[in-house]
A and B are shown apart, each in its own frame.
Chain A
Amino acid sequence: MEKLISEFSVGLFFWQSLIFLTLLFLLVKYAWKPILNAIKEREENIENALQTAEKAKKEIEELQAKNQDLLKEAREERDQILKAAKATKDKMISEAKNQAKVEGEKLIAQARNEINTQKNAALTEMKQMVASFSIEIAEKIMRKELGEKGKQEELVKTYLEDIKLN
């Protein structure tokens, strides 16, 4: 210890302190500050880049999920549309069927009416014709029969009797 103190050199201590302080000052200004800042900046950049990448990944995942949802929705919508279309189709078919049936029935009824009318007309015509034929025949007969006076009176007599009966 005594030797240490006796060996202690004030000059060396002075120069060492001076050199070290100067070095400290110069290095802080020209080396450590820019170096530490550069390292920090770089680290921050890396961190930011990583965070951005993570964010982008998340966004992509979200987008994918969204796409999936959209696809699902689209599918559902398609199914619904198809279902609706089918229902409409069925409805239309059944409606058409019904209408056709009603129309047919109507046509049939019309036809029947027509037939009836025609038949009636034909019948009437036939009756008229028969009547006219009958009258003609009757005329002819009467002309032949009523050529004699007795017979005419006889006939009138029968008619009159017939009328009374009615």
Chain B
Amino acid sequence: MHKKTLQSLLLSLIFIGVFTFNLSASNTEHGEAENADVKTEIKEDIKHHLQDGYDFHLFTDKETNTHYGFPLPVILIDNGLKVFLSSKFHHGEEIAEVDGNFYMLSHGHIYKTDAEGAVNYDEEGHITNEKPLDFSITKNVFSALFVAILMFFLFSSMAKSYKTNAIPKGFGRFVEPLVVFVRDEIAIPNIGEKHYRKYMGFLLTIFFFIWIVNLVGLTPLGINVTGNIAVTFALALMTFLITQVTANSNYWKHIFWMPGVPVPMKIILAPIELLGVFIKPFALMIRLYANISAGHIVLMSLIGLLFVFHNWFARGAFLGLTLFLSVIELLVAFLQAYIFTMLSALYFGFAVEEHEHH
């Protein structure tokens, strides 16, 4: 625990360091107009951070207008597969031309356009240009892939270490209690001794995936994978599908024809129960998304406030608050992984529950 706190402290410091660099360029003069600029800039930065991106953007030097980071491949399905590097957009400043098609990047979305970059807007100011089907390796895809590869190497090497020694070393020694925790505290109490084994792979994978992704999200790399609705939707969908596919007849009976209640009640309960089937994974999706997004917004806003105030006392206070919230976020990172896994296990438990006949 002590080590962890220290680690988060360090992380926060680096986090703050990066943003200081990011914002200091425009913070040279103190004035009302300047202050308003800083505020909008912070807003933009937070928005930008929460969004997915087509390049791995670390920070921008505003004075020289150089972006630090690396481009990622863009994959579009638009009359055939179009693959090119996102550096072609020059951070949304230029129109990318591929095989005679023109694409432009605006507010984190790719639109089709022509050689001149014509943009059509509707009454509300939304771009109405056609959007090609986008399967790009975005920042989030890249991060998820990175975490997945990392996990595969870490856990397969841990598995190998068991072949030579019954007690794991290094990484395994740290992770094994968590594996046992997922088994003894999450899977077995919720699913039961009889059926838990077949869900263990999913529960362990989702637990460690969410946790590690959350933790990586707290580093200054500034990624926000689990704070993206598409990601949490994909994860919740797995839980939903596994629940329905492995459910026994008892589960369906409890949804459509609740035993032990009068017939009119059965009819009333059926749609409610059916709705519950969808609400459960929906809640999973929203909970993870909202918690991680909120954490990132709050943390980044607090860091942003350091630059809005020119009062050293206020800055000190916000610095302390930022550090405190970083520690909280570290806890949230684990807690959300735990809750997601725990609730998934609970739903699996409902699916395979065997009721005794009274």
Given the complex of chains A and B, what is the CA–CA distance between A163 and B55 in angstroms?
A: 185
- Distance to closest chain A CB from B233 (angstroms): 6
B13: Cβ under 8 A from any A Cβ: no
Q: Is B138 positioned at the interface, with any CB of A under 8 Å from its CB?
A: yes
The contact string, 1 if C-beta is below 8 Å from chain B, for chain A 9-35, is 111111111011111101110111111
Q: Does B294 contact A (CB under 8 A)?
A: no
**Number of residue pairs A-B, CB distance < 8 angstroms:** 125
Of the listed stretches A36-44, A72-80, A153-161, chain B binds A36-44
B166 contacts A by Cβ under 8 Å: yes
Check B235–A20 contact: CB distance below 8 A.
yes
Contacting pair B230 A8 (CB below 8 A): yes
Nearest residue, chain A, Cβ from B137: A15
Within the complex, what minimum Cβ distance (angstroms) separates B71 from chain A?
Answer: 16
Q: Give the distance to chain B from A16, nearest Cβ to Cβ, in Å.
A: 4
The reply on B339 being an interface residue by CB < 8 A is no
Taking a contact as CB atoms closer than 8 A, the residue among B137, B166, B200 that contacts A36 in the complex is B200
Complex alpha-carbon distance, A45 and B167, angstroms: 12
For the complex, what is the distance from the CA of A33 to the CA of B51, rounded to whole Å?
Answer: 36
Chain B residues in 8 Å Cβ range of A45? 166
Question: Which of B84-92, B148-156, B341-349 is found at the contact surface with chain A?
Answer: B148-156
Does B138 contact A27, Cβ atoms closer than 8 Å? Answer: no
B38 contacts the other chain (Cβ, under 8 Å)? Answer: no
**Chain B residue total in the interface (Cβ 8 A):** 46
A19-B141, A24-B201, A35-B179 are known contacts. Are A9 and B152 too (CB-CB below 8 A)? Answer: no
A7 at the interface (CB under 8 A from B): yes
Give the residue of A4, A12, A22, A27 whose beta carbon is less than 8 angstroms from that of B141: A12
A27 touches B204 (CB 8 A): yes
A22-B204 Cα distance, complex, nearest whole Å: 14
Q: Is the CB of A27 within 8 A of B229?
A: no
* Given A9-B52, A38-B162: A27 in contact with B133 (beta carbons within 8 A): no
Q: Are A15 and B141 in contact (CB under 8 A)?
A: yes
Given contacts A20-B148, A27-B155, contact A35 B162 (CB under 8 A): yes
Partner of A30, one of B141, B156, B235: B156
What residues make up the interface of A, taking CB atoms closer than 8 Å to B? 4, 7-17, 19-24, 26-28, 30-36, 38-39, 41-42, 45
Asked if residues B155 and A19 are in contact (CB atoms below 8 Å), the reply is no
B positions within 8 Å CB-CB of A: 51-52, 75, 133-138, 140-141, 144-145, 148, 151-152, 155-156, 158-160, 162-163, 166-167, 176, 179-180, 183, 197, 200-202, 204-206, 209, 228-231, 233-235, 237-238
Q: Chain B contacts of A26 at CB under 8 A?
A: 152, 156
Chain B residues lying within 8 Å of A30, measured Cβ to Cβ, are: 152, 155-156, 159
Residues on the A chain within 8 Å of B204, using CB: 27, 32
Task: Please name the 3 residue pairs, one residue from A and one from B, whose CB atoms are nearest each other, closest first.
Answer: A38-B162, A31-B155, A28-B201
Which of the residues B134, B162, B200, B235 comes within 8 Å of A34, measured between beta carbons? B162
Contacts of B158 in A (CB 8 A): 31, 35
For A20, the chain B residues whose CB sits under 8 A away are 144, 148, 205-206, 209, 234-235, 238
Q: Are A15 and B237 in contact (CB under 8 A)?
A: no
Instruction: List residues of chain A with CB within 8 A of the CB of B156.
Output: 26-27, 30-31
When chains A and B are docked, how far (Å) is the Cα of A34 from the Cα of B204?
A: 13
Q: Which residues of B contact A7 (CB under 8 A)?
A: 51, 229
Q: Of the candidates A17, A34, A36, which one forms a contact with B183 in the assembled complex, judged by CB atoms under 8 Å apart?
A: A36
Q: A4 CB to closest chain B CB, in angstroms?
A: 5
